[in-house]
Amino acid sequence: MPETLPVARRCGFIALIGAPNAGKSTLVNALVGAKVVIVTHKVQTTRALVRGIALEGDAQLVLIDTPGIFPPKRRLDRAMVSTAWSGAADADMVCLLIDARRGVDEEIEAILGKLKQVSHSLVLVLTKVDVVADKPRLLELAADLNVRLPFEATFMVSGATGSGVDELRSWLAQRVPAGPWHYPEDQVSDAPLRSLAAEITREKLTLRLHEELPYQSTVETTSWQTRSDGSVRIEQTVFVERESQRKIVLGKGGEAIKAISMAARKEIAEAVDAKVHLFLFVKVREGWGNDPERYREMGLEFPRE
Ligand SMILES: Nc1nc2c(ncn2[C@@H]2O[C@H](COP(=O)(O)OP(=O)(O)OP(=O)(O)O)[C@@H](O)[C@H]2O)c(=O)[nH]1
Ligand SMILES: [Mg+2]
């Protein structure tokens, strides 16, 4: 008899999909128990797939955060939406997140219609329940959606307060298939630190300039050096489309970029657990949204059309 029996480990890939702003990234962070993906109040914050990793007993849950699904217009939109669907197709289970305040509208109808064609283990997650006072409406919404699609279970959660999150995590842990873990047990995300750092800066940029500077900017980490004193020197480039946008990012007397840089540096330092020197450069790159190189940096397929 062997002295120790092999541990019955389980591991599975679970995609979180839904309309933009449904609360996918917030829920990934809540399930993981650490901030692994960025969150803003703006739609289309997430652009590429990021995997957050949670442990629950013998189970490793690989939670795939995806961009919101909506009718795409621009090339970048198309790349984001198609990557979201590919994230769903590759997963063992798919959680469909619906903002409980919003309910089902045309955009959600379209997602439901397409989900019907993807054969999958489906879970319904109504989000932001902390801001829904009308509880009977939640039950009605859940019942209505369960008539349309064969969900294996329905959860009502708040990524903000944590309500319902533990229940969802334990349920998922029981459902993922038996098998070895895909990642080391202390790993919480598959994103390299340099892309997490770029995302953090993009989050701060969006939070600060959301009104003046919608959408057409991207951030890349261009240099990362660990110094002999253990501190990290990071250079990043913010790409914008026009000179007028560059001025907005810089702000009067460099005020905006300074504030963005300070907020980003603080959070990046926490993420890398070291002192960070952050240098931000703002470049005008007209049509970066049509430049394959930018998509490669974002981890997105470049749509040819
Ligand atoms: N009150 C409340 N707000 C929430 C909750 N979850 C997310 N939010 C807020 O909703 C907004 C969008 O959250 P995200 O997690 O970025 O949503 P997302 O689905 O990842 O959005 P995209 O990446 O743009 O598709 C943010 O302002 C969040 O703070 C929740 O449970 N309760
Ligand atoms: Mg997101």
CA 249 – ligand 2 centroid, Å: 22
Q: Do 203 and 289 fall within a single domain?
A: yes
Q: Is residue 56 part of a domain?
A: yes
- Tell me if residue 277 falls in helix, strand or coil: strand
Q: Do 167 and 293 fall within a single domain?
A: no
Q: Is residue 109 part of a domain?
A: yes
List residues, by chain if needed, whose CB lies under 5 Å from ion ligand 2: 24-25, 45-46
pLDDT, tens only, 186-237: 999 999 999 999 999 999 999 999 877 766 889 999 999 999 999 999 999 9
Q: Which two tokens stand for residue 135?
A: 């509880």
Q: Is residue 114 part of a domain?
A: yes
Q: Which two tokens stand for residue 165?
A: 């999150």
Q: Is residue 184 part of a domain?
A: no
H/E stretch holding 239 reads: strand 232-240
Q: Is residue 59 part of a domain?
A: yes
Number of domains in the chain: 2
Q: Do 130 and 212 fall within a single domain?
A: no
Owning domain of residue 124 = 10-175
Q: Do 169 and 267 fall within a single domain?
A: no
The ligand that comes nearest to the alpha carbon of residue 67 is: 1
Q: Do 243 and 119 fall within a single domain?
A: no
Q: Do 21 and 169 fall within a single domain?
A: yes
CA 8 – ligand 1 centroid, Å: 35
Q: Is residue 185 part of a domain?
A: no
Which of these ranges, 60-64, 107-111, 214-218, 261-265, has the smallest mean pLDDT? 214-218
Q: Is residue 3 part of a domain?
A: no
Ligand 1 site: residues with CB under 6 angstroms?
Answer: 18, 20-26, 39-41, 43-46, 67-68, 127-128, 130-131, 158-160
Q: Do 55 and 144 fall within a single domain?
A: yes
End-to-end CA distance of the chain: 61
Q: Which of 16, 21, 130, 300 to mutate to test the pocket of ligand 1 (most atoms within 8 A of CB)?
A: 21
Q: Please list, residue by residue across 188-215, b when 16 or more beta carbons sit within 10 angstroms of its beta carbon and e when fewer do.
A: bbbbeebbbbbbbbbbbbbbbbeeebee
Q: What percent of the chain has pLDDT over 70?
A: 97
Q: Do 286 and 202 fall within a single domain?
A: yes
Task: Looking at the CA of residue 41, tell me the nearest atom of ligand 1.
Answer: 27
pLDDT at 215 (0 to 100): 66
- Tell me if residue 151 falls in helix, strand or coil: coil
Q: Please list, residue by residue across 106-141, b when 16 or more beta carbons sit within 10 angstroms of its beta carbon and e when fewer do.
A: eebeebeeebeeeebbbbbbbbbbeebeeeeebeeb
pLDDT, tens only, 144-170: 999 999 999 999 999 999 999 999 999
Q: Is residue 182 part of a domain?
A: no
pLDDT, tens only, 242-275: 999 999 999 999 999 999 999 999 999 999 999 9
Any binding-site annotation on 12?
Answer: no
Q: What is the CATH number of the domain that holds 242?
A: 3.30.300.20
